[in-house]
C-alpha cells in the first residue's frame, strides 16, 4: 500500500481531480488547506539569499494550496498518477503542484 500525497496549487482543479479519482475507483481521500513555506515567508524572501529568486515564481492568484492524502493499493497508484497528470497537466511547470508517495505498512479503519 502507498500513501499518495498531492499538493494542489490551483484549488479550482480540486473537484475535477476528486471526480477523476472516483472514476478510477478511488472512493476516499482527505483534503486539507495548506500553505507552502515560500508563501509564508513571502514578505521576508528578499532578505533570505536562497529564496530571493523564488519570490517571482509565487503565483498571487493562489494564496493557499489543498493537500490531498489517499491510501492506495499498489495497483491503484499508476491510475491515480495518470488521473492527477490528466487534471493538473505537467507537474514540472510552476504552480502545477507536486505529488509523492510513502509506503504504508499498516492501516486500520478503512477498507481499500
63-109 tens-digit pLDDT: 679 999 999 999 999 999 999 999 999 998 877 889 999 999 999 99
pLDDT at 35: 81
What's the average model confidence in pLDDT over 26-36? Answer: 92
pLDDT, position 53:
46
Is residue 9 within 8 A of residue 97, CB to CB? The reply is: yes
The pLDDT value recorded for residue 76 is 97
| Ranges of H-type helices in the chain | 14-23, 37-40, 74-88
Residue 36's pLDDT is 75
Domains of the chain: 2-35+64-103 (3.30.70.120)
Percent of the chain residues past pLDDT 70, beyond the cut: 76
pLDDT (0 to 100) of residue 7: 95
Whether 7 and 65 have beta carbons less than 8 Å apart is answered as yes
Which position has the grid cell 521576508? 44
* pTM as predicted: 0.78
Amino acid at each position: 500500500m502507498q500513501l499518495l500525497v498531492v499538493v494542489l496549487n490551483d484549488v479550482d482543479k480540486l473537484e475535477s481531480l476528486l471526480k477523476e479519482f472516483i472514476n478510477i475507483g478511488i472512493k476516499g481521500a482527505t483534503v486539507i488547506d495548506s500553505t507552502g513555506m515560500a508563501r509564508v515567508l513571502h514578505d521576508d524572501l528578499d532578505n533570505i539569499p536562497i529564496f530571493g529568486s523564488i519570490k517571482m515564481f509565487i503565483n498571487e492568484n493562489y494564496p493557499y494550496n489543498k493537500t490531498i492524502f489517499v491510501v492506495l493499493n499498489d495497483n491503484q497508484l499508476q491510475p491515480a498518477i495518470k488521473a492527477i497528470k490528466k487534471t493538473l497537466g505537467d507537474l514540472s511547470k510552476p504552480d502545477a503542484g507536486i505529488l509523492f508517495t510513502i509506503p504504508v505498512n499498516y492501516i486500520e479503519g478503512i477498507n481499500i
